[in-house]
Amino acid sequence: MSQPLAEFTTLRLGGPAERVVTATSTADLVNAVRAADARRERVLVVGGGSNLVVGDNGWAGPAVLVRTTNVAVRTTATQATVTADAGVTWDDLVADSVAAGWSGLAAMSGIPGSTGGTPVQNVGAYGSEVADVVTGVQVLDRHTGAVEDWPAERCAFSFRSSAFKHTDRFVVLTVTFGLPVETDAPPIRYAELARRLDVEVGERAASKDVREAVLALRASKGMVLDASDHDTWSVGSFFVNPFVDETLVPDGCPHWPTDEGIKLSAAWLIEHAGFGKGFGLDRGDGRVALSTKHTLALTNRGGATTAELLALAAVIRDGVEGRFGIRLRPEAHLVGVEF
């Protein structure tokens, strides 16, 4: 039976899938994808739906919901090795790691979605990213049908990207993290978080304090899911922070040197191209608009369509390019649409 994919995305947008299959174990997930591939069906694997933009026409094939929940832990005196199924809710895993006295995940508190999506996107926040702590990923190779265990170095992690990002060949089954057994988080790398914690950049703080500070910061920007708050009906940051040559850095734009080039603040570019918080195609009174709390989030204000959301995204993208000569690209995963 067809079912609207809007029910499974944080944007609450997306047309129907031909049918929906729920996988509650890794074996179920592998078998469902293998069976669809054997029938030469187009299969869409859906985790938490927090980074997914689905077209209004939906998906002409099965959608497999990843609802696997197992977490296995091995500990020594100095390190916890944590292997989580792809369907484990990410923030639950973060909260449990902090409570257990394991370091490395606290700065990524409050990020919506499931654990299986984290290596795909190389999820990160406030100066941390999962590439810092991932030690291995188990995947299904849909070309061969084999289940493979990948070491972290094979994942080709880079800023908000990985070997899994631009292909549907691999389905993440489990993710393994190496987390130091210590109550302090890694050194704070992000100035806004350091100020919130009243420490200097490079200093450390207790993981529980880092988690509380990050959750408060994210909530202030509409980045913690709340069904009653339309500012959270989004995919978080719709556009990724761009990398440019140093000669293209606009005056006054926050920027950070990296191995990949100079990283710019996409939020600053959007705001200084004339698109403020709450901006919509009819100046914020319609069904889609920028969040009233954060200009990187494009939001469904209720009753919107994916076409409307992408029309707004295109106006913002083109406006930034016209003003600064820098073309923003989506961070979100787009399905059944062109942008």
Q: Please check whether residues 100 and 213 belong to one and the same domain.
A: yes
Cα–Cα distance for residue pair 206/214, rounded to 1 Å: 12
Residues 55-67: tens digit of each pLDDT: 999 999 999 999 9
Res 307: pLDDT: 95
CA atoms within 13 A on the CB side of 84: 25
Both tokens of 240, joined, read: 């990724």
Res 1: pLDDT: 64
Residues 89-108: tens digit of each pLDDT: 999 999 999 999 999 999 99
Cα–Cα distance for residue pair 260/302, rounded to 1 Å: 38
- Please check whether residue 225 lies inside any domain of the structure: no
Residue 282's pLDDT band, with cuts at 50, 70 and 90, is low
Given its phi and psi angles, is residue 284 left (phi above 0), alpha (psi -120 to 50 degrees) or beta? left
Q: Please check whether residues 215 and 286 belong to one and the same domain.
A: no
Residue bearing the bigger pLDDT, 207 or 256: 207
Here the CATH number for the domain that contains residue 182 is 3.30.465.10
pTM of the entire predicted model: 0.91
Secondary element (H or E) of residue 236 = none
**For the chain, what is the domain count?**
3
Annotated catalytic residue, options 50, 109, 162, 237: 237
Last residue of a domain, one of 189, 220, 251: 220
Q: Please check whether residues 187 and 81 belong to one and the same domain.
A: yes
- Please check whether residue 51 lies inside any domain of the structure: yes
Cα–Cα distance for residue pair 186/127, rounded to 1 Å: 10
Res 162: pLDDT: 96
Q: Please check whether residues 183 and 104 belong to one and the same domain.
A: yes
Last residue of a domain, one of 18, 46, 66: 66
Q: Is 142 among the catalytic positions?
A: no
**Residue 283 pLDDT exceeds 60:** no
**Residue 159 pLDDT exceeds 90:** no
* Structural domain span for residue 305: 230-332
Q: Is 160 among the catalytic positions?
A: yes
Annotated catalytic residue, options 19, 160, 195, 204: 160
**Residue 285 pLDDT exceeds 70:** no
Last residue of a domain, one of 15, 41, 66: 66
3-state helix, strand, coil split of the chain in percent (to 5) is: 30, 25, 45
Cα–Cα distance for residue pair 99/177, rounded to 1 Å: 16
Res 284: pLDDT: 47
Res 259: pLDDT: 80
- Please check whether residue 338 lies inside any domain of the structure: no
CA-based R_g, the chain, Å: 20
Here the CATH number for the domain that contains residue 16 is 3.30.43.10
Annotated catalytic residue, options 129, 301, 317, 331: 331
